[in-house]
């Protein structure tokens, strides 16, 4: 797609930035007897990301592409402050997230970051509107304003007739739309979405993608997806492979498309 007016070419400093980020995890521990037999006292280490640098500007949609296990979800979690890197730094509006306490990182996410997870994490006891409004409860927004904002967003994603339904009464695609509305309800500075259209039919997916495009007019959006129409709305697509940015494939991909 064409670069929108005010996109990365003339935008202010990055909203989020990863510099030389590496993330390692420990796998499940070896069974005691087997571990001792092979001299393994600690679980093996897995590198999910290695030396990744990426800046996300205001008014910009960045697509993350790559096969399963390439590090897309890990990078999203780091940019959102859900996890901290093993090496390197992640900054949000100039603040190194590694310098913040867990409580302060949680507050930053609540106020400034909207997250759409692959697994929707909806509360079964709450209606669609209640799930969407939940972040506003934490922010101390009045009940009437919570109801208004949650209802408005559910209408935007085509769920005006499902406002009072609970997750168990909704299809997978409808639950995903509730999760997207919840991510947008705080009017976040950065929106992070992991496979946001994975459960949606084509027509509904296009409606949701229009919402992401509208959101990106004055904030940043990062979308990880295997879905070509989703990647097509991006101003640029960054390809990951084996935990690293595939520089060659990224350079080959024209703006808003994936090779």
For residue 188, is pLDDT > 60? yes
What would the pLDDT profile of 122-161 be if each residue is shown by its tens digit?
999 999 999 999 999 999 999 999 999 999 999 988 899 9
For residue 7, is pLDDT > 50? no
Q: What is the pLDDT of residue 41?
A: 60
For residue 226, is pLDDT > 70? yes
Residue 47 falls inside a structural domain: no
Q: What is the pLDDT of residue 80?
A: 94
Q: For residues 154 and 197, what is the distance between their CA atoms, to the nearest angstrom?
A: 16
Assign 178 a pLDDT band (cuts: 50, 70, 90). Answer: very high
Residue 41 falls inside a structural domain: no
Residue 49 falls inside a structural domain: no
What would the pLDDT profile of 202-225 be if each residue is shown by its tens digit?
888 888 888 888 878 778 999 999
Tokens representing 116 are: 């759409």
* Number of separate domains in the chain: 1
Residue 234 falls inside a structural domain: yes
Q: Residue 71's domain is classified under what CATH number?
A: 3.40.50.300
Q: What is the pLDDT of residue 194?
A: 92
What would the pLDDT profile of 33-67 be if each residue is shown by its tens digit?
545 555 556 678 899 999 999 999 988 999 999 99
% residues pLDDT > 90 (the chain): 63
Q: To the nearest whole number, what is the mean pLDDT of the chain?
A: 86
Q: Return phi, psi of residue 208, to 5°.
A: -65, -40
Q: What is the pLDDT of residue 159?
A: 94
Question: How do the residues of the chain divide into helix, strand and coil, expressed in percent and rounded to 5?
Answer: 35, 25, 40
For residue 4, is pLDDT > 60? no
Q: What is the pLDDT of residue 127?
A: 97
Q: What is the pLDDT of residue 30?
A: 46
Q: What is the pLDDT of residue 1?
A: 44
65 contacts 225 by C-beta, under 8 angstroms: yes
Residue 1 falls inside a structural domain: no
Expressed as residue numbers, the domain containing 234 is 56-252
Residue 2 falls inside a structural domain: no
Q: For residues 177 and 202, what is the distance between their CA atoms, to the nearest angstrom?
A: 13
Q: What is the pLDDT of residue 10?
A: 54
Strand order in the sheet with 87-92: 45-56, 16-26, 87-92, 95-96
Q: For residues 15 and 56, what is the distance between their CA atoms, to the nearest angstrom?
A: 6
Q: What is the pLDDT of residue 28?
A: 61
Residue 16 falls inside a structural domain: no
User: What one-character DSSP code corresponds to residue 93?
Assistant: T
Assign 92 a pLDDT band (cuts: 50, 70, 90). Answer: very high
Residue 106 falls inside a structural domain: yes
């Amino acid at each position: 797609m064409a670069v929108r007016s005010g996109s990365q070419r003339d935008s202010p400093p990055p909203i989020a930035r990863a510099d030389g980020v590496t993330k390692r995890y420990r796998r499940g521990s070896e069974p005691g007897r087997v571990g001792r037999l092979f001299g393994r006292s600690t679980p093996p280490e897995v590198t999910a990301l290695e030396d990744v640098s990426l800046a996300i500007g205001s008014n910009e949609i960045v697509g993350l592409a790559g096969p399963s296990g390439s590090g897309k979800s890990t990078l999203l979690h780091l940019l959102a402050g859900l996890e901290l890197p093993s090496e390197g730094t992640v900054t949000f509006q100039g603040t190194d997230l590694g310098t913040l306490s867990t409580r302060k990182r949680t507050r930053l996410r609540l106020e400034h970051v909207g997250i759409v997870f692959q697994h929707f994490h909806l509360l079964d006891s709450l209606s669609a509107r209640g799930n969407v409004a939940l972040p506003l409860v934490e922010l101390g927004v009045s009940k009437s304003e919570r109801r208004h904002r949650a209802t408005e967003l559910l209408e935007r994603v085509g769920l005006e007739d499902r406002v009072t339904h609970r997750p168990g009464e909704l299809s997978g695609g409808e639950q995903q739309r509730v999760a997207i509305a919840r991510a947008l309800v705080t009017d976040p500075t950065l929106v992070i979405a992991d496979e946001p259209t994975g459960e949606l039919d084509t027509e509904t997916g296009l409606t949701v993608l229009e919402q992401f495009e509208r959101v990106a007019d004055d904030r940043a959006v990062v979308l990880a997806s295997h879905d070509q129409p989703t990647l097509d709305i991006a101003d640029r697509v960054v390809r990951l492979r084996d935990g690293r940015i595939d520089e060659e494939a990224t350079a080959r991909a024209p703006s808003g498309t994936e090779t």
